[in-house]
């Protein structure tokens, strides 16, 4: 009987092997289906007093401290920023050209250039929302990205964890097969956290027949949504 | 003594001839050492290549696609929309306007083409990517042979397809625009039926002659043909990240712009 049942479910075909040094395509993070923090609360290392003060002042719309009338900057269409944009349920796309890999994020119609022309990471980059990134291939299947030059206006996730302008991010995109990237991220920010934040391993899957849609956060529409729908719908927090 | 003036003349002639020869040689030598001093624009355009950062040679401010007086007549639909807008520029300019970009709503296409900040072309397989420094916006221009869709969802930056008409002219058609954007700072509207045709003619290494035509029968009784513009290459430059951040724009308006705006003169 067991053999008969097993025969009705043939093993899925393995994906073809990964092309060498190529991340081109639309990728989707297989997470919870909602936006996630960079790491669960129990993996966030202790904050410095500077960061703790900032954290305590934030009023997130999600998580144990959620409350209406929050100050999450994305509620008024401030850029979500990097790396928070990596942990959403919307896809991103890699396009590889001479001298750079461009990473487009469907959320907010944003993008960043990951420079692959051999330039060093700058030590004095102007702080921006999406940072300054350089990348290189560690091997034929693993692309390493380092980035710096981030404004400290963005949150690391929807529960309000802060970061400083000194944040440095290291990512590894390992293309395990044609359809799969194993993704690792580490944040080093001694001004905010006493140890690096090491995100859990994540899986990104290729979506070969999809194209990104234009999804722009429009302040006039976001505000009117917040006034009409989101604010009235939020429950008062339990005290 | 009688021979002295003749010999002096010969001497002077010989000297000036030699000097002339040296001068010519020096100029030729200089030209050989610096072949590009005759300006880089004399270099020919690379074939089928718009790669680089380009600067629209405009007024230095935000321009309209064409002068107000050259706009074709509007339909009643468009006129009603136009009359309702309160732009910050032009003959009807007034403070406290409703220009959507003042609150960081997307500038949209084609208005963004006439901003004073640069844009960049990156050519990738199957598409040409166009990035605008202003607003950190971008659009793909699909070059994989697909047809322009007839039912594209309306977006702020539209849906564009492109192909090379010749080795130096890139032709772009776009559709699928939402009607929330203005064509320029003086408040001219457009409908979702707007169709835009552009030609990027790279005449030399550093110069593109740029033409645009907007066809929108729901809004204008004739196509809008913009005057030809010049785009110049800005080599060794990279565009910056310049998003419009409403919370910062709003704060600026509260603190500085609104108090500073003069009352309209009646």
Q: What is the pLDDT of residues B147-160, one digit of tens each?
A: 999 999 999 999 99
Residues of B in contact with A220 (CB under 8 A): 100, 103, 105
Residues of B in contact with A130 (CB under 8 A): 241
Alpha-helical (H) ranges within chain B are 3-33, 76-84, 246-252, 258-260
Domain encompassing residue A51 = 16-63+70-225
Residues of A in contact with B156 (CB under 8 A): 214, 216
Q: Is the pLDDT of residue B161 over 70?
A: yes
Q: Which pLDDT does position B22 carry in this prediction?
A: 52
Q: Which pLDDT does position A141 carry in this prediction?
A: 97
Contact B217, B193 (CB under 8 A): yes
Q: In chain B, whose CA is at the least distance from the CA of A108? A: B137
How many domains would you assign to chain A?
1
What number is the ipTM of this complex?
0.89
Task: List the CATH number of the domain containing A129.
Answer: 2.40.128.20
pLDDT tens for residues A13-52?
888 999 999 999 999 998 887 778 888 888 899 999 999 9
Chain B residues in contact with chain A using a Cβ-Cβ cutoff of 8 Å: 100, 103-106, 122-125, 127, 129, 131, 136-138, 153, 155-157, 240-241, 243, 245-247
* Beta strands B127-132; B137-142: pairing state: antiparallel
Dump strand ranges (E) for B133-206.
Answer: 137-142, 159-166, 169-175, 195-204
CB atoms near residue B213 (< 10 Å): 14
Q: Which pLDDT does position B1 carry in this prediction?
A: 38
Taking an 8 Å cut-off on Cβ atoms, the answer to whether A213 and B153 are in contact is yes
CATH annotation of B52-88+101-237 = 2.40.128
Q: Which pLDDT does position B97 carry in this prediction?
A: 84
Q: Which of A161-170, B218-227, B237-246 has the lowest mean pLDDT?
A: B237-246
A33 is a domain residue: yes
Q: Is the pLDDT of residue A142 over 90?
A: yes
Least Cα separation, residue B31 to chain A (angstroms): 33
Q: Which pLDDT does position B3 carry in this prediction?
A: 45
Q: Is the pLDDT of residue A99 over 80?
A: yes
Least Cα separation, residue A99 to chain B (angstroms): 11
A166 is a domain residue: yes
Q: Smallest Cβ distance to A129: which of B104, B124, B241?
A: B241
A75 is a domain residue: yes
Q: Is the pLDDT of residue A237 over 90?
A: no
Report the DSSP beta bridge partners of residue A148: A132
What pTM, to 2 d.p., does this model score?
Answer: 0.85
pLDDT tens for residues B41-86?
579 999 999 999 999 999 999 999 999 999 999 999 999 999 999 9
pLDDT tens for residues A60-92?
877 677 767 688 888 888 999 999 999 988 999
Q: How confident is the model at residue B89 (pLDDT cuts 50, 70, 90)?
A: confident
Taking an 8 Å cut-off on Cβ atoms, the answer to whether B106 and A78 are in contact is no
Q: Which pLDDT does position B77 carry in this prediction?
A: 98
Q: Which pLDDT does position A5 carry in this prediction?
A: 53
Q: Which pLDDT does position B14 carry in this prediction?
A: 53
pLDDT tens for residues B106-145?
999 999 999 999 999 999 999 999 999 999 999 999 999 9
Mean pLDDT of B99-109: 93
pLDDT tens for residues A184-196?
999 999 999 999 9
A234 is a domain residue: no
Least Cα separation, residue B235 to chain A (angstroms): 15
Q: Is the pLDDT of residue B35 over 50?
A: no
B52, B243, B249, B254: best to mutate for the A interface, most A CBs within 10 A: B243
CA distances from A121 to A103, B33, B151, B190, B235 (A): 17, 36, 44, 44, 21
Taking an 8 Å cut-off on Cβ atoms, the answer to whether B137 and A109 are in contact is yes
Taking an 8 Å cut-off on Cβ atoms, the answer to whether A220 and B105 are in contact is yes
Q: Is the pLDDT of residue B23 over 60?
A: no
CA distances from A69 to A60, A66, A84, A220, B36 (A): 9, 9, 21, 17, 61
Q: In chain B, whose CA is at the least distance from the CA of A211? A: B140
Q: Which of A8-17, A110-119, B21-30, B196-205 has the lowest mean pLDDT?
A: B21-30
């Amino acid at each position: 009987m067991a053999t008969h049942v097993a025969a009705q479910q043939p093993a899925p075909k393995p994906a073809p092997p990964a092309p060498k040094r190529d991340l081109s395509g639309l990728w989707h993070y297989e997470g919870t289906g909602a936006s996630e923090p960079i790491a669960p609360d129990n993996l966030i290392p202790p904050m410095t007093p500077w960061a703790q003060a900032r954290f305590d002042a934030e009023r997130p719309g999600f998580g144990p401290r959620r409350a209406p009338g929050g100050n999450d900057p994305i509620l008024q269409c401030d850029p979500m920023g990097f790396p928070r944009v990596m942990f959403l349920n919307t896809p991103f796309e890699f396009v590889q050209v001479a001298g750079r890999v461009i990473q487009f994020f469907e959320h907010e119609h944003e993008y960043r250039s990951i420079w692959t022309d051999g330039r060093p990471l700058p030590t004095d980059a102007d702080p921006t929302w999406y940072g300054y990134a350089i990348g290189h291939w560690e091997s034929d299947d693993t692309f390493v990205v380092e980035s710096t030059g981030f404004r400290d206006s963005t949150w690391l996730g929807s529960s309000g964890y802060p970061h400083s302008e000194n944040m440095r991010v290291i990512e590894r995109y390992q293309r395990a097969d044609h359809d799969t990237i194993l993704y690792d991220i580490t944040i080093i920010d001694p001004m905010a956290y006493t140890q690096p934040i090491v995100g859990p391993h994540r899986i990104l899957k290729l979506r070969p027949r999809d194209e990104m849609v234009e999804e722009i956060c429009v302040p006039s529409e976001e505000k009117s949504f917040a006034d009409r729908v989101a604010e009235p719908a939020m429950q008062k927090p339990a005290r | 003594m009688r021979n002295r003036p003749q010999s002096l003349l010969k001497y002077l002639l010989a000297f000036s001839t030699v000097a002339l020869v040296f001068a010519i040689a020096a100029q030729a030598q200089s030209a050989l050492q610096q072949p590009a001093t005759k300006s880089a624009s004399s270099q020919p355009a690379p074939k089928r290549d718009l790669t680089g950062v380009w600067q629209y040679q405009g007024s230095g401010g935000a321009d309209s696609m064409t002068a107000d007086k050259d706009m074709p007549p509007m339909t009643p639909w468009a006129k009603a929309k136009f009359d309702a807008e309160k732009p910050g520029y032009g003959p009807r300019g007034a403070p406290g306007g409703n220009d959507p970009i003042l609150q960081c709503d997307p500038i949209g296409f084609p208005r963004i083409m006439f901003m004073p900040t640069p844009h960049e072309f990156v050519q990738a397989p199957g598409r040409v990517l166009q990035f605008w420094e202003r607003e950190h916006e971008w659009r793909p221009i699909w070059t994989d042979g697909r047809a322009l869709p007839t039912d594209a969802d309306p977006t702020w930056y539209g849906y564009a397809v492109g192909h090379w008409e010749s080795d130096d002219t890139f032709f772009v058609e776009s559709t699928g625009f939402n009607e929330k954007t203005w064509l320029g700072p003086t408040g001219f509207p457009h409908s979702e039926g707007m169709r835009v045709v552009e030609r990027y003619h790279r005449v030399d290494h550093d110069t593109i002659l740029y033409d645009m035509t907007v066809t929108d029968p729901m809004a204008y009784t004739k196509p809008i043909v913009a005057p030809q513009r010049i785009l110049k290459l800005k080599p060794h430059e990279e565009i910056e990240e310049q998003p419009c951040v409403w919370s910062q724009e709003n704060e600026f308006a509260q603190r500085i712009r609104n108090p500073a705006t003069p009352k309209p003169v009646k």
